[in-house]
């Protein structure tokens, strides 16, 4: 049902943005898989079979992205996801990516799917926050600004970010580009206050 | 002086299927980009030696990043290319100073060898400007299956006083080459052409 035609990865190290360079550069990575859209060119009511078919794609992409970033899973602090639907598809086809993309990444980063707190830290597993997303219908080479947030608390202000992802030449009309992004830290010169990662205390995915 | 690097970006583009045809071996193209400060921004300088030295440094750094991202031994690299986008406070000759005098030798070391010219492109551009980095077989410029290009682009660069420098390396030619010409299997690899 799903055929992967291309896989595009991008890893960037941000040393500074004209301010004081942090001791460790910020690393952000993105992976985009170019897939056939099984529902291109017509309206199909029941599109859930494709969501299931995307599950192994998500797991594979999350692993490939972490490998390309060349960092351990526990150093990932931010994540996001997105999709670009080729012109013979509809926006709803992009929504197929929410579950298989988001949970693949969260599980890789330690999400356990339960509320059992660690006795030492009070932390309920890892990757507790909802994976933010963006989607659009677009032409080959369309850019998508994929939002990023902190993996454990959606209100951590230092980790609100976005990464521009673009696969030259894709999606063609009958294709989907599905995207995952991860980062190793806050914005490179984060300094606008708000909840900090050190202050996460509720472990409810938000604060 | 060494390059003042603000960002490094490495991309790998792997094609597994093209026009419905599954590829026995997926084609893979890597491009590594550095966003650097332009030491000559905003003024005319007769001597561009600082950029020449930066080019030498980046040839090895970016070439090595590509080979690493492809996960190959240097000798397994097939083709290469280079390009630069100069921010609006610089001049086209700044790109030439980086690309042409000394970038090639360390790049060739990074890909094992390379008898052929490293094809190049350059332009003046703003934030998010894209440049198509030309690709040619590293040992024989006339290998037709390896004439190709890969797009390089950094969303937030080059700012006016910056330069984006890109080096591309592949482990393959185009996905479905079928327009004839010299084959990679036929090359001598001595004169850089055939």
Domain segments of chain B: what residues? 5-186
Q: Which residues does chain B have within 8 Å of residue A6's beta carbon, measured at their own beta carbons?
A: 13-17
DSSP state of A116: P
Query: What is the rounded CA–CA span in Å between residue A146 and residue A34?
Result: 16
Helix ranges restricted to H, B71-176: 92-99, 104-110
What pLDDT is attached to residue A142?
Answer: 96
Of A8, A10, A171, whose CA–CA distance to A93 is shortest? A171
**At how many degrees (to 10) do helices B92-99 and B49-70 cross?**
60
Query: What is the rounded CA–CA span in Å between residue A55 and residue A86?
Result: 20
What pLDDT is attached to residue A112?
Answer: 77
Of A110, A158, A163, whose CA–CA distance to A132 is shortest? A163
Q: Which residues does chain B have within 8 Å of residue A16's beta carbon, measured at their own beta carbons?
A: 6
Question: pTM score > 0.80 for this model?
Answer: yes
Is B186 within 8 Å of chain A by CB? no
Q: Is residue B73 helix, strand or coil? A: coil
Of A53, A81, A55, whose CA–CA distance to A146 is shortest? A81
**Torsion angle of C-alpha atoms A136, A140, A142, A144, degrees rounded to 10:** 60
| Cβ–Cβ < 8 Å for A2, A54 | yes
Q: How confident is the model at residue B119 (pLDDT cuts 50, 70, 90)?
A: very high
What pLDDT is attached to residue A164?
Answer: 96
| Cβ–Cβ < 8 Å for B114, B137 | no
Q: Please give the average per-residue pLDDT across A45-66, as a whole number.
A: 97
Query: What is the rounded CA–CA span in Å between residue B62 and residue B34?
Result: 8
CA distance B55 to chain A (A): 19
**Torsion angle of C-alpha atoms B106, B112, B117, B119, degrees rounded to 10:** -80
Which domains are delineated in chain A?
A: 4-199 (3.30.1330.110)
Number of CB pairs < 8 Å for A and B? Answer: 58
Q: Which residues does chain B have within 8 Å of residue A32's beta carbon, measured at their own beta carbons?
A: none
pLDDT score of A175 more than 90: yes
Q: Which residues does chain A have within 8 Å of residue B130's beta carbon, measured at their own beta carbons?
A: 168
What pLDDT is attached to residue A111?
Answer: 84
Per cent of chain A over pLDDT 70 is 97
What pLDDT is attached to residue A119?
Answer: 66
Partner residue opposite A6 with nearest CB, options B8, B10, B13 = B13
Query: What is the rounded CA–CA span in Å between residue A109 and residue B155?
Result: 27
Q: Please give the average per-residue pLDDT across B92-101, as a whole number.
A: 96
Per-residue pLDDT tens over the stretch A86-129: 999 999 999 999 999 999 999 999 887 766 666 677 777 799 99
Per-residue pLDDT tens over the stretch A178-198: 999 999 999 999 999 999 999
Sign of CA dihedral B85, B87, B91, B95: negative
Partner residue opposite B151 with nearest CB, options A4, A164, A168 = A168
| Cβ–Cβ < 8 Å for B90, B38 | yes
Per cent of chain B over pLDDT 70 is 99
Superfamily, domain B5-186: BB2672 (3.30.1330.110)
Average pLDDT, chain B: 96
DSSP state of B33: E
């Amino acid at each position: 049902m799903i055929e992967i035609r291309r896989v595009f990865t991008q890893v960037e190290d941000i040393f500074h943005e004209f301010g004081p360079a942090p001791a460790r550069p910020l690393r952000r990575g993105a992976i985009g898989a170019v897939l056939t859209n099984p529902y291109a060119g017509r309206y199909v009511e029941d599109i859930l079979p494709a969501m299931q078919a995307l599950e192994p794609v998500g797991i594979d992409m999350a692993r490939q992205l972490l490998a390309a970033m060349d960092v351990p899973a526990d150093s990932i602090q931010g994540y996001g996801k997105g999709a670009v639907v080729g012109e013979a598809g509809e926006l709803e086809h992009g929504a197929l990516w929410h579950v298989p993309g988001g949970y693949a990444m969260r599980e890789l980063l330690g999400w356990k799917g339960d509320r059992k707190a660690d006795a030492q830290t009070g932390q309920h597993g890892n990757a507790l926050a909802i994976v933010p997303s963006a989607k659009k219908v677009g032409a080959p080479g369309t850019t998508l600004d994929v939002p990023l947030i902190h993996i454990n608390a959606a209100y951590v202000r230092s980790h609100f970010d976005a990464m521009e992802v673009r696969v030259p030449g894709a999606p063609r009309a009958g294709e989907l580009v599905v995207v995952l992004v991860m980062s190793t830290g806050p914005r490179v010169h984060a300094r606008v206050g708000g909840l900090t990662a050190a202050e996460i205390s509720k472990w409810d995915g938000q604060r | 002086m060494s390059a003042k690097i603000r960002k490094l970006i490495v991309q790998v583009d792997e094609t597994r299927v093209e026009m419905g045809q599954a590829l026995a071996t997926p084609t893979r193209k890597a491009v590594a980009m550095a966003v650097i400060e332009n030491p000559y921004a905003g003024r005319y300088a007769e001597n561009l030696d600082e950029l020449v030295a930066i080019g030498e440094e980046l040839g090895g750094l970016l070439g090595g990043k590509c080979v690493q991202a492809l996960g190959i031994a240097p000798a397994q690299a097939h083709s290469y290319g280079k390009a630069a986008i100069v921010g609006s406070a610089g001049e086209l000759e700044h790109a030439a100073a980086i690309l042409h005098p000394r970038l090639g030798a360390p790049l060739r070391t990074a890909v094992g060898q390379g008898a052929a010219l490293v094809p190049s492109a350059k332009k003046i551009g703003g934030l998010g400007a894209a440049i198509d980095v030309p690709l040619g077989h590293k040992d024989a410029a006339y290998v037709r299956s390896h004439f190709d290009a890969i797009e390089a682009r950094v969303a937030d660069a080059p700012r006016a006083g910056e330069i984006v420098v890109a080096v591309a390396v592949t482990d393959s030619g185009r996905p479905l080459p079928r327009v004839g010409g010299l084959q990679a299997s036929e090359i001598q690899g001595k004169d850089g052409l055939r």
